[in-house]
Amino acid sequence: MPVTVVVGTQWGDEGKGKVIDLLAGEADWVVRYQGGGNAGHTVKVGDRQYVLHLVPSGVLHDGKTCVIGNGVVVDPEVLVEEVDDLASKGRSLDGRLFVSDLAHVTLPYHRRMDEAHEAKRGAGKIGTTHRGIGPTYADKFGRVGIRMGDLLDPDVFLRKVRRNLEEKDYLFRNFYNVEPVTIGEIEASYRKYMPRLGPMIADTVPMLRDAVAQGRRVLLEGAQGTLLDVDFGTYPYVTASNPTVGGALTGSGLPAMAVTGCVGVAKAYTTRVGAGPLPTALPDEEDEKLRVLGREYGATTGRARRTGWFDAVAVRRAVAVNGPTDLAVTKLDILDTMDRIQVCVAYEYKGRKLVEFPNSIEVVENVKPVYREFPGWKQPTTGARRWDDLPGRAKEYLEGLSGLVGVPVTIVSVGPERNETIRVRV
């Protein structure tokens, strides 16, 4: 710190929640900068597991100020439910959670549009979570979005909703053939959640500017991963925002010169949920075995994740885009029983060797991975708390990953618990 960005370097689900929770203990402010309620950051503290969708992971540490930045799309009902759930578990957010007045609002018609659009695609589905994230961002960039600050004035809010419903109603009835959302549905939910949300809505840009000026330590927390970035990911099988360092700046309002560090998070292998290519995907039997070992099911949707070997080509793309100073490798312990571990070091495509991640989705869908084999360590790593506690071959594997992607490994997770972590360099 003082300003550190945490990014996923794969297709999301890298274990960012645990890494952010670890680093949040050293921060004063924790800021979520993009994505929406489709995110699922899982953090285990003691015997209790938390799945956070909108609220920054800093909530699990006392005394941390949490911000939902302007780059996030906020479903008010989801946020209220999450705040209430945390309070029921002894994690009150009173006076320490702020939501940017510039953040865009996900409304019931966005969720219905998301589901209807996916159904209309048929076999060409993207694999969205049906949480309305894409349609909310589409309205934002179409300049018809509704922002959290609009919620503070009922007349302004409802006028803008009515304006949008004219277009949405036509699409629902005539293109998607589903029932439209009514103004009554939206107004009823608005009246229910606004008394709770009003005190949280603030202009967070000067708040963060002042925090940095005062030397406060700020942690910027992203959702999803770089290979799902709308610009740099496997388009069109991507999310609707920028989960990269660039997104951290535009999604928080902090200038580039404020950022002093970036932690990239990668699983010791690779997973992907939803549609889209996964070059190192395992055969069905091995895929199922690794999925069970790693408990690879989506924290938000419960969908099974596809699994594959570590893809250094893909992670190098993330390194190039984000420039991480540190690499956190999670779920190393899941590989403890493996005899041999493969790492993709390049792709083959039509007789050519590719070391850079292709921009063309048609190429990515048809590459053949070139593997380097590492011997398994066949010893448990869950009890390791220092680098020297790890088996020699596990250290060789981590050093190999570091060399292949060009970033030092400084955090290693060997289990879901907060303390099941090795800090290689503090």
Give Cα separations from 185 to 172, 249, 329 (angstroms).
Answer: 16, 35, 45
Helical segments of 214-360, H only: 245-250, 284-294, 312-322
**One domain, residues 152 and 18:** no
**One domain, residues 334 and 223:** no
**One domain, residues 302 and 343:** yes
CATH assignment at residue 392: 3.90.170.10
Band of pLDDT at residue 300, cut at 50, 70 and 90: low
| pLDDT at residue 298 is higher than 90 | no
**One domain, residues 42 and 16:** yes
% the chain with pLDDT above 90: 79
**What would the pLDDT profile of 96-148 be if each residue is shown by its tens digit?**
999 999 999 999 999 999 888 888 777 666 667 788 899 999 999 999 999 99
**One domain, residues 289 and 275:** yes
Give the domain extent around 223: 3-100+201-262
Least confident of 49-63, 215-229, 371-385: 49-63
**One domain, residues 241 and 152:** no
Instruction: Give residue 30's pLDDT.
Output: 96
Instruction: Give residue 90's pLDDT.
Output: 84
**One domain, residues 296 and 353:** yes
% the chain with pLDDT above 70: 96
Tokens at 358, concatenated: 């292709």
Active-site residue flag, 104 = no
Q: Are 330 and 19 in contact (CB under 8 A)?
A: yes
Active-site residue flag, 53 = no
CATH assignment at residue 134: 1.10.300.10
- CA separation for the pair 86, 78 (Å, rounded): 12
| pLDDT at residue 247 is higher than 50 | yes
| pLDDT at residue 426 is higher than 60 | no
- CA separation for the pair 55, 261 (Å, rounded): 22
- Please say which residue of 262, 291, 314 terminates a domain: 262
**One domain, residues 73 and 220:** yes
- CA separation for the pair 192, 17 (Å, rounded): 30
Q: Which is the catalytic residue, given 28, 41, 139, 287? A: 41
Can you tell me which residue has the tokens 């000026």?
A: 213
Report cis status (omega within 30 of 0) of the bond before 236. Answer: yes
**One domain, residues 397 and 357:** yes
- CA separation for the pair 137, 143 (Å, rounded): 10
**One domain, residues 242 and 362:** no
**What would the pLDDT profile of 41-90 be if each residue is shown by its tens digit?**
777 776 777 788 899 988 888 889 999 999 999 999 999 999 998 988 88
**One domain, residues 243 and 302:** no
**One domain, residues 408 and 290:** yes
Q: Could you list the beta-strand ranges (E) of 94-151.
A: 97-100, 104-105
Average pLDDT over residues 329-343: 97
DSSP string over 63-91: T-EEEE-TTBEE-HHHHHHHHHHHHHTT-
268 Rama class: left (phi>0) / alpha (psi -120 to 50) / beta: alpha
In our burial notation (b when 16+ CB lie closer than 10 A, e otherwise), range 92-103 reads ebeebbbbbbbb
As a whole number, the mean pLDDT across the chain is: 93
Task: Please state the domain count of the chain.
Answer: 3
Q: Are 111 and 136 in contact (CB under 8 A)?
A: no
CATH assignment at residue 65: 3.40.440.10
